[in-house]
Amino acid sequence: MVHLIEQDFGTFNKDPVKKFTWQTKSGVKVSVISYGAIIQSILVPDKSGQLKDVVLGFDDLQGYVDRNTPYLGAMVGRCANRIRGASFQIDGVMYQLAKNLSGHDHLHGGIVGFDKVNWKSMVDGSKVIFSYLSKDGEEGYPGDLLTNITYEVTDAGVIQIEFTATTTQKTVVNLTNHSYFNLAGHEMGADEIYNHVISINADKITETTPQSIPTGGFVKVGGTPFDLRIPIRLGDAMKQGQNLFDDNFCINTYGNKELNFVSRVNHPQSGRYLEVHSDQPGVQLYTSNFLPSPDEPALIGKSGVGYRRHAAFCLETQNYPDAIHHPNFPSPILKPGEIYRHRVTYSFGVVKHLNEPEVIGY
């Protein structure tokens, strides 16, 4: 049986922040905090049984409140990723959003997005349900939006997340989790990120401008640095182009209403691997390009570790970015009476020997 414990993790605006930790028989240990519904740590054994924390983050609440501009581990909403011009129209009505990206675009829900609020929490057996009511007009979005996030960790070392939301007016919704992974350990930096081997189940990406705003077109990955259909060393893929990666990959098997294979990443030296499945049409592969460069002060994270550019990768399952402006993209509009749903699983495992069959769990 999975063991779930609840602890205090400080206070935010005089409200208690809770930390929930799952301990599994496989050795995987996962902690989530109510502030931002953030995944704070994931401990995973390597092929020799050594536990390491494989996500970037902070040891205390103040770190998340004061320094989490990169959204480490955070729940992102109402709308993950970018919205061109920080505005959109629904039924002829224009809505102006917070311009928190380059002074004219909108990113990850705005200035005070879902990552910067303390969510209400409830334990249901081995599940933890986080709830937040975003009021009409918050960050410019229409409608009262009630969002629930359910976290559960299985004995096999699988993190299961389900996002649901309902609204009182037509609005835009695109939720995701923004965890930064380094399967060698959160402290190991770019050198070990380059040694990860990655594959993504996508034949195309959404084409973007130099400012990473979708044009509405698509680019086939064949013959490009974005062809990750066959496993490739991440460092070798990143060397093939500039500013790689911060791109939305279009999942091939989307539309069958089941959880689809999204990506597999493994770290050969430790034996750890991660598989991602979701029911969303896209995934943003981001290699932490905007963490501090070597000539800038590092972002100080857990255990005093300095995080820098390319210290981790993100796999953010999502609708296509800026979908509200592109009718050929899956619609991001949620209507009253409908339920937004998004399911994703992060499955951790280990390969102890090179010739050993690879299986989920331990």
- Give per-residue pLDDT as tens, 240-254: 877 799 999 999 987
Residue 190 within any structural domain of the chain: yes
pLDDT in tens, 44-77: 999 999 999 999 999 999 999 999 999 999 999 9
In a domain? residue 137 = yes
Within-domain flag for 359 = no
Instruction: Name which residue leads in pLDDT, 215 or 359.
Output: 215
- Average pLDDT, stretch 178-195? 97
Confirm whether 99 is domain-assigned: yes
- Residues forming the active site: 178, 316
At 360 the pLDDT is 39
Mean pLDDT value across residues 355-360: 46
Number of domains in the chain: 1
Domain-located, residue 361: no
**What CATH number corresponds to the domain at position 232?**
2.70.98.10
* Residue 358 reports pLDDT greater than 80: no
Note down the domain range covering 213: 3-350
Buried/exposed code over 122-131 (b: 16+ C-beta within 10 A; e: otherwise): eeeebbbbbb
Q: Is 326 annotated as a binding residue?
A: no
Contacts of 315 (CB under 8 A, 6+ apart): 181, 262, 263, 265, 274, 276, 283, 284, 285
Residue 257 lies in a domain: yes
Q: What does the pLDDT look like over 194-208, one tens digit per residue?
A: 999 999 999 999 999
Q: Calculate the CA dihedral of residues 51, 54, 58, 60 and round it to 10 degrees.
A: -40
Please report which residue ranges of the chain form alpha helices under DSSP H.
61-67, 189-193, 234-239
* 309 annotated binding-site participant: no
pLDDT for residue 361: 39
- Is 286 contained in some domain? yes
Predicted confidence band of residue 354 (pLDDT cuts 50, 70, 90)? low
Whether residue 144 is annotated as binding a ligand: the answer is: no
Q: Is 246 marked as a binding-site residue? A: yes
Q: Residue 34: is its pLDDT beyond 60?
A: yes
pLDDT confidence of 353, banded at 50, 70, 90?
Answer: low
The SS3 of residue 240 is coil
Residue 355 lies in a domain: no
Give the residue from 321, 316, 279 showing the smallest Cα distance to 172.
Answer: 321
User: Over 80: is that where the pLDDT of 255 sits?
Assistant: no
